[in-house]
Each structure stands twice: as structure tokens, then as C-alpha cells.
Amino acid sequence: MKRAYADIPEGQIHYRIEGEGEYIIMLHMAVSSSDEYTRVIHLLSKKYCAVAMDYLGQGDSDPAPHQYSILEHARTVISFMDALGIKKANVVGQFNGAMIATEVAINWPERVHKLVMAGTGFWEESEAKALNEPPDFTKRVELKKDGSHLFEWWRRTCLWGDYPVEILEERFLEYAKAGPRGEETHWAGAVYDLKPRLPLIPCPTLVLDATHYPFHYLAKDVHKLIPNAKLFTIENGPMYLDRAMPNEFAGAVMNFLK
Amino acid sequence: MKRAYADIPEGQMHYRTEGSGELLLLLHMAVSSSDEFTGMMHILSKKYCTIAPDFLGAGDSDPSPRKYNVIDHARTIASLMDVLKIKKANIVGHHLGSIVAAELAIKRPERVKKLVLSGIGYRPETDEGIPFEDPPNFMGAVELKKDGSHLMEWWRRTCLWGDYPVEILEERFVEYAKAGPRGEEAHWAAMDFNPKARLPLIKCPTLVVSATYDPFFSVAENVKSFIPGSKLKIIENGPIYLDRAMPKEFAGTILEFLNSSGK
């Protein structure tokens, strides 16, 4: 696997790439980076050219010029594909990445073969109203001289299940790299209305679900709304599915793509 | 400023680069990265092609295949210069970076034009009558802990070296987090260097830089005396994170030295 930078209009996009063949673009969750996919990339690279990019303001990419929406991030994915000369690709996205992948597929259908949406969901209107106040895991974190911001980032890292400490540290490092602006990606997801977009997805889609995903209870509803979709649930799959169960994640993607 | 990766034999070396002209390499301190030089590079890039790599195991570079000493690190810098087709360059090093720069100048004198050694480590012998004490436990190995306590240990080490705006402290903290449990190998490499034996072997024009609040300020004159024909520049009120905190003064010192003719 190699790491590299691509130049898009807003600045440099950091990415990881491995393998040869048809392209798979991999889009990460909020406050994360292409690093979450390293294990999955190794597996996919046997049959595909797997490319995972860091959004602006995440991982090692340049910051976004202002808080970017899901659609603006989707446009950077297209800019990134242009920079690498990638005409068409399969697109895999987890959580926020699934929302961004949705917008890529709807707005630039000629660039997408197939779509894999992992862990995405939507709130009903009543729930959305209750979210006027951001949940306390997405509030902005300020740097503090006593280092207490580090414990807040660690607390948020540990909210999503029990993992080996190395995996927790990987996620923590994403918070530290993204810094105080890191939560902008969560906020972009919170104001994005996924439900009406799903019926507009033009390409074959896999709804990749896991029993311990927060939106597991919505997977069937998401699947029903997409015209040409399959649903697959990974038993015992946790939130950090790609980091913790890369074999199952990559296996599900490869089964669907072939 | 652009960031990029170069493929050296051991793996990928991450570096930052800005500007065009004569080449100027900048080598960072232990448990740090090229990120410490960004402020200085903006200034130096007006006259020089600045390149600041991350040592293996630091910043965004690949890990070293085993614990590397300063000779190993110097060899990776020569590899980087080969890959980037750089025949010869001026080299600036800060702390560990200055030791690596010195070793490169000694082993590969044909690759180095002028040398700037900032904060090079020399621990005086007891009979030299110069009091010196390292802070306790600033470089023991740190293991990841599920309660997150390793983060506070890294933060404590970050804050040992003076008072800085929290943004600068955070930059240094991120270096600890990126380097991870193996990060302290860089400090151990720095300790394993004998300035009295090695520095006299430097043949190129050299500037020794010392900041008044740097731990090695008290031995700056000694260090200068080890290097034949070298100059010494003191930066008043400079702290250990000199490049992050006083980029103008540090860059100005370098420009003045590189612009001057002869030794």
C-alpha cells in the first residue's frame, strides 16, 4: 500500500492506494480517515485497485475552506477522481461516507459502477427536531492547556463498543489530527436529509449492515427505499466494522461487486 | 507548501517542501516531525527550495524496520536526497535533527554545503563544572492504555519544555500520538551520540545556534569549540520549541549565515 497526495482545487487530498484492476473508492466515517480502511484495502487489493481518501479537514488532507456540506464533500470526491484520472469506480462509504457516496452516485451517475452503503440511516422528523441540541459526542471541543480535551476525544472514541486498545488509539488519533474543527463532518451529516435521496440512487447498491451498528434497526427501511439494492447484515459487527472485522467487510464488498 | 512522499529503501518518507532555489534541508527534533518547521519554511522559501522530511517512525513516514540510531537516520536522509536527485544541500538540524545533520556532514561531506546545528545535545562531564540535569522520566517507553492515561503522559512530556500557546502544545502532542509507543526510540538515538568525539570531524562551514531557554544553552560555547571554524549565534529568549515559537528569528539567523561568504 502506498500513501500519496492529490491536488484538487481546494488543496491537497491525502489518500491510500493498493492493487490493480477496477477501482473501488472508499469513503470514511465522520472524524476518521482513510486509515480506517487499511486492513480492508489489503484484502480488496487482490482483485481491485482500492483507493481510500481523507476528506478535507480529516486525516492528513488540507483543511476545508469553510464547513463543507455532504454535497461539497461529494464534489471533492469527483475532483479527486479527476486528479487521478479515474473515469468510473465502485464507491464504498461508511456512515458519513455512505451519505457522501449517495450524493456522488446521484449527481455524477456516469462516474459510478456500483455503490456500497455501510451503516447509514436517517431520523424521522420528530427525532430530527429533538436533535436541535447536538448530542454531546459532536459538540465542538476546544484545546485546553490542562490537556482535558484529550480525555474528551478519548471518551468519544470509546463510546462505540469494546475494541483492542490499538484500534481505540487509531480512532483517537483521527480526533487529534482533525482538531477543534473535526466535528464539522458530524454536523454536515446531521443536517443532511438522506431519506428522500435514496429512491434517486441510479446504480446497483449494497446496503451493508451490522448487528451492532447504531442504525441497524433502520437497515431494512433503507434497503426498501433504494430501487436496485441488496441487503447484507454482518453478525456481531460493531461500529468500527472495517477496523475490527476487515475480512467480513471486504468479503461482503467483493461478493457484491463480482 | 506541498506535502509528498518519497520511496526510500525502507519505505515511504513523508516530507514538506516549499520554494525554489538553492536547496535547504530541515531536520526535526526527537518525537516531532517536519510540521515543526512550517512557519520557518514560509519565510525561507523566498530564497531557498526548502525540504523538511519526517524521520522514519516520526510524523507521517513509515516506521523504521528496527530501532534506528543517528547513523541509520543520516543514511535515510542521504537516500531521500538520492531519490529527489539532490546532489548537495545546506542542512539545518534542531536537536536530534542537528545530530543527524552532523553525522551526514561527517560521513557524506560531498552532500553538505553549509550546516546549521541548533540545540545540539552535549551533556557536560562533571569536571567541567557546568550544572546540567535532564527532567525526570521524559523518554521512558509509553504503552497504550485503555483508560487513555498514555495521552496524559504524552501531554505531560509536551508541557515540560516551557510555556507556549495551546496550539503549539497541541502540535507537539500530535507528534507523540503519531509516533506512538515506539516514538521514544528517537530520544534514545540522540543519547547515543558522542559530540566531543564526532563534532571535530565536521569540515564544512557550520553555525551553532543556541536559544537562551534551551536545555543545552549552558554548553553552547563548548559545542562551538568542538567544531573547527564554526560560528555561534545565541537567540535571546528562545525556548526549546524555537522553530514553532520564534520562526522569524530562527529563519533570519539561517538566512544571514547562508548569505555570508566563506566560513
Q: Which pLDDT belongs to residue B133?
A: 87
> What is the rounded average pLDDT for all residues in chain A?
95
Residue B170 belongs to some domain of the structure:
no
Distance from C-alpha of A43 to C-alpha of A152, rounded to nearest angstrom: 33
Selection from A31, A27, A26, A28 nearest residue A157 by Cα: A31
Test mutation, B152, B160, B172, chain A, max A CBs within 10 A = B152
A171 in contact with B at a CB cutoff of 8 Å?
A: no
- Contact criterion met (CB below 8 Å) for B9 and B16: no
Q: What are phi and psi of A205, to 5 degrees?
A: -130, 140
Q: Which pLDDT belongs to residue A13?
A: 98
Q: Which pLDDT belongs to residue A127?
A: 60
Nearest chain A residue (CA) to B177: A173
Mean pLDDT of A136-141: 90
Mean pLDDT of B28-55: 98
Domain ranges of chain A: 2-123+192-257
pLDDT tens per residue, range B165-209: 999 999 999 999 999 999 999 999 999 899 999 999 999 999 999
Residue B18 belongs to some domain of the structure:
yes
User: Is pLDDT of B142 > 90?
Assistant: yes
**Which cell numbers in the block locate residue B152?**
496524559
Q: Which pLDDT belongs to residue A47?
A: 98
Nearest chain B residue (CA) to A155: B148
Q: Considering the domain A2-123+192-257 in this protein, what is its CATH number?
A: 3.40.50.1820
Distances (CA, A) of A248 to A82, B3, B146: 31, 34, 25
Q: Which pLDDT belongs to residue B125?
A: 87
Q: Do B166 and A154 touch (CB under 8 A)?
A: no
Q: CATH no. for residue B24?
A: 3.40.50.1820
Q: Which pLDDT belongs to residue A136?
A: 81
Residue B180 belongs to some domain of the structure:
no
Distance from C-alpha of A51 to C-alpha of B218, rounded to nearest angstrom: 51
Distances (CA, A) of A72 to A12, A66, A76, A79, A160: 15, 10, 7, 11, 27
User: Is pLDDT of A62 > 90?
Assistant: yes
Domain containing B48: what range? 2-137+190-259
**Which cell numbers in the block locate residue A182?**
473535526
Q: Which pLDDT belongs to residue A81?
A: 98
Q: Do A60 and B4 touch (CB under 8 A)?
A: no
The one-letter amino acid at B128: E
A150 in contact with B at a CB cutoff of 8 Å?
A: yes
Q: Which of A78-82, A95-99, A112-116, A132-136 is predicted least confidently? A: A132-136
A203 in contact with B at a CB cutoff of 8 Å?
A: no
Residue B165 belongs to some domain of the structure:
no
Q: Do A4 and B5 touch (CB under 8 A)?
A: yes
Mean pLDDT of B247-262: 93
Residue B168 belongs to some domain of the structure:
no
ipTM above 0.90, yes or no: yes
Residue B224 belongs to some domain of the structure:
yes
Residue B53 belongs to some domain of the structure:
yes
Mean pLDDT of A1-27: 98
Q: How close is the nearest chain A Cα to the Cα of B64, in Å?
A: 16
Of A155, A165, A177, the CB nearest to B146: A165
Distance from C-alpha of A213 to C-alpha of B87, rounded to nearest angstrom: 54
The 10 Å Cβ neighbour count of residue B256 is 11
Total of domains in chain B: 1
Q: What percent of chain A has pLDDT over 70?
A: 95
Q: Do B146 and A168 touch (CB under 8 A)?
A: yes
Q: Which pLDDT belongs to residue A124?
A: 61
Residue B65 belongs to some domain of the structure:
yes
Selected residue with higher pLDDT from A127 and B188: B188
Q: Which pLDDT belongs to residue B32?
A: 98
